[in-house]
Amino acid sequence: MKTLQQAAIACSFAAGALTGTALAQAPATAQEPSAKELVFNERKGNCLACHGMPTVPDAVAAGLYGPPLIAMSARYPDKAKLRAQIWNAMAANPATSMPPFGKHGVLTEAEIDKVADFVYGL
């Protein structure tokens, strides 16, 4: 009779093997999301959940919790600071409610670059 630990190890191994197989068979042509999609996407960035964006034509400025994303290049003359804010806002303000998108792996480094570029232009 297997112990609970042995069963868990076997399940982990099987899950890893299945995931690896599924990943290996995934199509390599998956299109990268645009910066705009990352900002508006409900499963990734979803900036609109907290921030209003009145300057973006097809945005519904629903968010009232975070500051509106307007005049961003004036507010962040150094784009690297804006990127750092998106990556981990807690570094500048430990009490912030903004999720650390980079630190927690919600967005990849490339996605954070895209979002920073897009938001910097607002």
- pLDDT for 56 equals 61
Q: How many domains does the chain have?
A: 2
What is the DSSP secondary structure assignment for residue 2, as one 8-state letter? -
Q: Is the pTM of this model over 0.85?
A: no
């964006």: which residue's tokens?
Answer: 53
Mean pLDDT of 8-22: 38
Q: Are residues 106 and 77 in the same domain?
A: yes
The residue among 122, 121, 113 whose CA lies nearest residue 45 is 113
User: Which range (15-19, 33-37, 112-116) has the least confidence?
Assistant: 15-19
Q: Are residues 109 and 51 in the same domain?
A: yes
Q: Are residues 51 and 4 in the same domain?
A: no
Q: Are residues 57 and 105 in the same domain?
A: yes
Q: Are residues 73 and 48 in the same domain?
A: yes
Contact, 83 vs 92, CB < 8 A? no
The parent domain of residue 50 ranges over 31-120
CA Rg, the chain, in Å? 19
Q: Are residues 2 and 53 in the same domain?
A: no
